[in-house]
Amino acid sequence: MSVVECPACGATVAAELGSCGECGSPIPGTRDGVETRVRRFWSAPDLGLLAGVALAVAGIVLLGAQAWLWAAVALALAALVFLLRWEAGRRRTGAAVARLSAHRRVVGARSRGQLELFRLRRELAELQAEQSRAYQELGRATHADDATSANAATAKIDDVGGRIQLKEAEIGALLGEIRERVRQAQGTSRTSNT
């Protein structure tokens, strides 16, 4: 099973899915696990547009033939077809805007948490460096047979170790919050799309 990275959120996704399980974005270039390289130069004609144009042309021809009633009917039907096409396009645009808004909420929920997560991981790295220095101090004190310095270094190692555990717990809690925010944003996007 091949995996790809979602271009929208960076999550790892199975290529067979075709869309991201985290943010719901489509994965470009994949369809059922096979990379698609087909380029469309000709798309299927829009039957609604063709019907509207045909009715409008027929209405104009009937006007020229002075068949007023039939011309009015054909032109009214053409106007109705164009109105229905416009409404359908407006709804598609609204759905696209809703998807974009949902995607923005998901990315916003994730990025706010990622900034905080970066700060916490940096603080964790600083604590780990401090713990490493304390271990070096303990090694020097032990080598010099200095019990007072060794006890102080051991106390410092214990203190820093406790702070590291607290920081790791804080990181774990933040990761849970980020997942919950993303889940809530995805939940609101799914309900707004339906």
Per the model's pLDDT, the better-predicted residue between 95 and 84 turns out to be 84
Length of the chain: 194
Supply the pLDDT for residue 134. 93
Work out the mean pLDDT of the chain and round it to a whole number. Answer: 80
Region 122-134 average pLDDT: 94
Region 149-164 average pLDDT: 94
Most confident of 13-27, 77-91, 148-162, 180-194: 148-162
3-state secondary structure at position 26: strand
Supply the pLDDT for residue 33. 40
pLDDT above 70 for 126:
yes
- Three-state helix/strand/coil letters over 99-142: HHHHHHHHHHHHHHHHHHHHHHHHHHHHHHHHHHHHHHHHHHHH
Supply the pLDDT for residue 167. 93
Judging by DSSP bridges, how do beta strands 34-35 and 30-31 pair with one another? antiparallel
Supply the pLDDT for residue 115. 85
Supply the pLDDT for residue 38. 46
Q: Report how far apart the first and last C-alpha atoms of the chain are (Å, whole number).
A: 31
* Dist. CA 27–CA 7, nearest whole Å: 7
Top CATH class of 88-193 equals mainly alpha
Supply the pLDDT for residue 188. 63
Q: Which of 25-29, 81-85, 109-113, 160-164 has the lowest mean pLDDT?
A: 25-29
Q: Could you tell me the residue ranges of all domains in the chain?
A: 88-193
For 29-87, write each residue's pLDDT tens digit.
655 444 444 444 455 567 777 888 888 899 899 888 888 888 899 889 999 988 888 88
Query: H/E element holding 14?
Result: strand 12-14
**Structural contact between residues 14 and 1, judged by C-beta atoms closer than 8 angstroms:** yes
Q: Using the 8-state DSSP alphabet, how is residue 19 labeled?
A: B
**Structural contact between residues 141 and 153, judged by C-beta atoms closer than 8 angstroms:** yes
pLDDT band with cut points at 50, 70 and 90 for residue 15: low
- On the 0-12 / 13-18 / 19+ scale of CB atoms within 10 A, 13 is buried
Q: Using the 8-state DSSP alphabet, how is residue 34 labeled?
A: E
C-alpha pair distances (Å), 40 with each of 8, 30, 34, 43, 47: 24, 16, 17, 7, 18
Q: What's the token pair of residue 28? A: 């470009």
pTM over 0.85: no
